[in-house]
Structure 1
Amino acid sequence: MTLFRLDASIRPQGSATREIGDVVEQEWLAAHPGDVVERRHIGVDVLPADAWGTAVDASSTPEAERTPAHREAAALAATLVDELLAADALLFAVPLYNYGVSQHFKTYGDLVWTDPRAHGVRFLEGKKAVLVTARGGAYGTGTPREGWDHATPFMRRILADVWGADLTVIEREFTLVGVLPEFDGFRDMAASMHAEALATAQQAGKALGAL
């Protein structure tokens, strides 16, 4: 079996989403020892910023009239969809950046949509997927920034409602406690949130591995 894992953190080391994603992956591998984990790290090995526009243009350009850039962008989009379709389970680790979705994940999603197999179709219908996300502050009900997280709802809509994946979401907050002095009073709360996210990741990884 194959697990496809996508990371979008811009941090090569110390990523909160990568830490939690690692727990999910380890549990999946425990159930599937020796099986394959296909990886794509769009936060470090970034997708070309102009690929989406070029792929969109390619989709309305007759094959004989396509430029090399058209073909390259269309081939990249096809590869992204191939990776999703070939996997038995999916893991996405995508942090909140500046209250919105990672630009790298947005580029990724836009490129996927340009492939005919994904355009307007729930092409991941029923496929098990886990989304790991992390936020530096707190955005829950009753907090001063309730509703400021514009990334997690977007990713739920794309992965589950539009693409059709059977999605489990793992969220961790207050990752900047210990980094920003103004958050020092929330150390105990942050530690509890961290432990809860890791425990949830273990459960989600076991469920993902039970396929």
Structure 2
Amino acid sequence: MATLLHLDSSALPQGSASREVTAAFRKAWEEQHPDGTVVYRDLAADPLPHLDAAAVTAEFTDPADRTEEQRAGSARRHALADELERADAVLIGAPMYNFTIPSTLKAWLDHVLITGRTTGTENLPNAGTPVTVVASRGGAYGPGTPREGFDFVTTYLEKVLGVALGMEVDFIVPELTLARAVPAMAGLIDKADASRARADADAAAKGKALAARLAA
């Protein structure tokens, strides 16, 4: 049975485009693979502590010499790395906040990126693991738009997930998600609706296809 690790990071418990699209992916996954396992983390509702000095220095300190705080910090990081390594596929909701990812998702990444274990080693344990990222954003940041080059969500996650962790990264990008909420964007509602429809369809198709691929 395949295991899907599902992470959401939107601060909004309701009305979040990234949460709704990850839910569509997960629904398709579960329908295709009912015997599979889903491990879920809501990083906004149950945030991880940001990486502190104890957690960082623990990895460079002999276990016998670690303080209680270092032991706790190291244990948390390796437990999260274990969870990631057990996953056959990963699904991440990553809305754009101020041109980049939510700090809650950054905290998770800081914990699981452990030099010598999950990154910075010849045999990366997560190499080739498929990860689908729903990178929603309130505006448009594609080629030819005024804010082309301001997207530090997909560019960052492509490097940290795809290069540092060696995972197989795929993005679903619903754009213009604020069109119905911001009066100045009213003229973009049709484009926003089309982008969202594509994202929902992509999520359903990709969730189904990935579950079938891993079950084969």
TM-score normalised per structure 1: 0.94
Gaps spanning 5+ residues in structure 1: where? none
Task: Tell me, yes or no, if the aligned pair for 1:17 and 1:93 is still in contact at 8 Å.
Answer: yes
Match of 1:19 in 2: 20
2:119, 2:164 within 8 Å by CA — same for their partners in 1?
Answer: no
The structure that is strand-richer by fraction is: 1
Give secondary structure in 2 for the equivalent of 1:100: coil
**Does the 8 Å CA contact 1:129/1:166 hold for their aligned counterparts?**
yes
The answer on whether the counterparts of 1:52 and 1:107 sit within 8 Å (CA) in structure 2 is no
Q: Does 1:101 align with 2:109?
A: no
On the 8 A contact 1:74/1:115 being kept in 2, the answer is no
Corresponding residue SS for 1:3: strand
Match of 2:176 in 1: 174
Report percent identity of matched pairs. Answer: 39
Distance 2:52 2:87 in 1: 23
Superposition deviation, residue 64 in structure 1: 2.2
- Give, in whole Å, the separation in 2 of the partners of 1:92 and 1:115: 22
Q: What is the alpha-carbon distance in structure 1 between the residues aligned to residue 114 and residue 126 of structure 2?
A: 15
**Mind listing any 5+ residue stretches in structure 2 that lack a counterpart?**
none
RMSD: 1.4
Deviation larger for 194-203 or 115-124: 115-124
CA contact (8 A) 1:137 1:173 kept: yes
Who is 2:6 aligned against? Answer: 5
Three-state SS of the structure 2 residue aligned to 1:37 is strand
* Contact preservation (8 Å) 1:52, 1:110: no
For 2:97 and 2:41, the matched residues in 1 are separated by 19
Alignment of 1:1-211 (within 5 A): 1-49=2-50, 51-114=51-114, 116-121=116-121, 122-210=124-212, 211=214
* CA apart distance, 1:145: 0.8
TM-score after normalising by structure 2: 0.92
Q: 1:114 Cα shift? A: 2.8
Provide the secondary structure at the position in 2 that maps to 1:160. Answer: helix
Runs of 4+ in structure 1 deviating by more than 4 angstroms, as ranges, are none
Residue-by-residue CA offset, 1:150-174 (whole Å, 9 max, x unaligned):
1111001111122111221101110
Deviation at 1:115, TM superposition (A): 6.1
Find the aligned partners of 2:87 and 2:161 in 1 and give their Cα distance. 15
Answer yes or no: is the 8 Å Cα contact 1:129–1:208 preserved in 2. no
Alignment length, in residue pairs?
210
* Structure 2 SS opposite 1:101: coil
